[in-house]
Structure 1
Amino acid sequence: MAEESDLEIEEAGGSNKKKVIIGGAVGVVVLAVILFFVFSGSEEPVETLSDETTASEAVAQTRSSADVGSALYVAMPRPFVFNVPGASRDRIVQIKVQLLVRGDINEEVAKKHIPLIEGTLLSVFSTTTADELSTSAGKETLRLTALDKVQAAMESVEGSKVVERVLFTGFVMQ
């Protein structure tokens, strides 16, 4: 009988040790997570308005930075597929285009005028030849011409260029 009670005490003591070890490990993990969140906050200083800076000046600063804005990309909904004449034979070209714009306002304006932009790009693309498109310099010239024409079209409609760059994200010539 005494031997059985000693075994029960040893088993109970062993499970208590396991509980203490597991509890300690969980406590360490919780403490590490708390410390991570406390010390991983933003290190950028918070700007406060001084007496000299008024609220209207702060709004003007925000608007000027919004005019510059972050780079946003507006994808044309469909790739452009068109024929181009070549020296030996005509070729079919497929170009996928995205437009680089700055700020949310220009993104919305570009999305609003996608049909105008598509028409302008297609008219520019149709004036090229397969020989020009076979070189990287010819592709770059086409991209810059497309940018000039799109900016001119947007300038006439919206009063600003809106589009900063025309990017070819896919280019296939067969």
Structure 2
Amino acid sequence: MAVEPALLLEETKVAKSRKVLIIFIGIAFAVLSCIAVGLWFFLGNDADERKAARAATQAQDAKVNDSREAFYVGMPRPFLFNLPGADRSRLVEIRVQLMVRGSDDDVLIKKHIPLIEDSLLTTFSGANVQALSSLAGKDELRHLALLSVQNTLQSVTGRRVVEKVLFTGFVMQ
């Protein structure tokens, strides 16, 4: 059986056209891959740069806030409240001071003491005896008090004035 030359010629043309098609598909895949990697690289760096810039701005703001002198504003009266316990109610007394930065914030805090006292008393009266019996519970209450005061003053002053809430006296009977 002899193979006709016309069939051989046609098979070689088909084989060559398949090779050319595979080469073009490979080149197209490589080009699309390069474009995708380039876009990911350039767009990904912009997001990273924005995050880095935002972090740098926050760090700079923290340095500016830390560079001002710290003032401690004591609440005029201790907070006295009852907490229900498992076996009996407990009387709790907490003395509080607020740390602010700068004399302007010191004056601003003194102006809003009734609002701050209300916020703190609401926060303190929501605590429970078991939590206040441990150091971690006291730290959590201090953190909740800070957030409460900051959120209350944010709505009035437009910024966070209080940096820390400090318990200068804590008695539970």
Fold shared by both chains (TM-score > 0.5): yes
Q: How does 1:1-174 map to 2 (within 5 A)?
A: 68-174=67-173
Q: C-alpha distance in 2, partners of 1:136/1:67?
A: 27
Counterpart in the other structure of 2:34: none
Matched to 1:89, the amino acid is R
Q: Under a length normalisation based on structure 1, what TM-score does the superposition of the two structures give?
A: 0.61
Question: 1:88 Cα deviation (Å)?
Answer: 1.3
Deviation digits for residues 2-55 of structure 1 (CA, Å, limit 9, x no counterpart): xxxxxxxxxxxxxxxxxxxxxxxxxxxxxxxxxxxxxxxxxxxxxxxxxxxxxx
Question: 1:101 Cα deviation (Å)?
Answer: 0.3
Q: C-alpha distance in 2, partners of 1:68/1:146?
A: 24
Deviation digits for residues 96-153 of structure 1 (CA, Å, limit 9, x no counterpart): 0000000000000000000000000000000011111000000000000000010000
Q: Under a length normalisation based on structure 2, what TM-score does the superposition of the two structures give?
A: 0.62
Question: 1:68 Cα deviation (Å)?
Answer: 4.4
Q: C-alpha distance in 2, partners of 1:86/1:94?
A: 15
Query: Which 5+ residue runs of structure 1 have no aligned equivalent?
Result: 1-63
Given the superposition, is the C-alpha separation of residues 137 and 66 from structure 1 closer, same or farther in structure 2, using an over 3 Å criterion? Answer: closer
Q: C-alpha distance in 1, partners of 2:172/2:160?
A: 30
Question: 1:172 Cα deviation (Å)?
Answer: 0.2
Question: 1:65 Cα deviation (Å)?
Answer: 5.7
Answer whether contact 1:67 1:103 (CA < 8 A) is retained. Answer: no
Matched to 2:88, the amino acid is R
Counterpart in the other structure of 1:4: none
DSSP-derived class of the 1:153 partner: helix
Query: Which 5+ residue runs of structure 2 have no aligned equivalent?
Result: 1-62
Counterpart in the other structure of 2:52: none
DSSP-derived class of the 2:130 partner: helix
Larger radius of gyration: 2
Moved over 4 A (4+): 64-68
Identity of aligned residues (%): 56
DSSP-derived class of the 2:73 partner: strand
DSSP-derived class of the 2:98 partner: strand
Answer whether contact 1:146 1:166 (CA < 8 A) is retained. Answer: yes
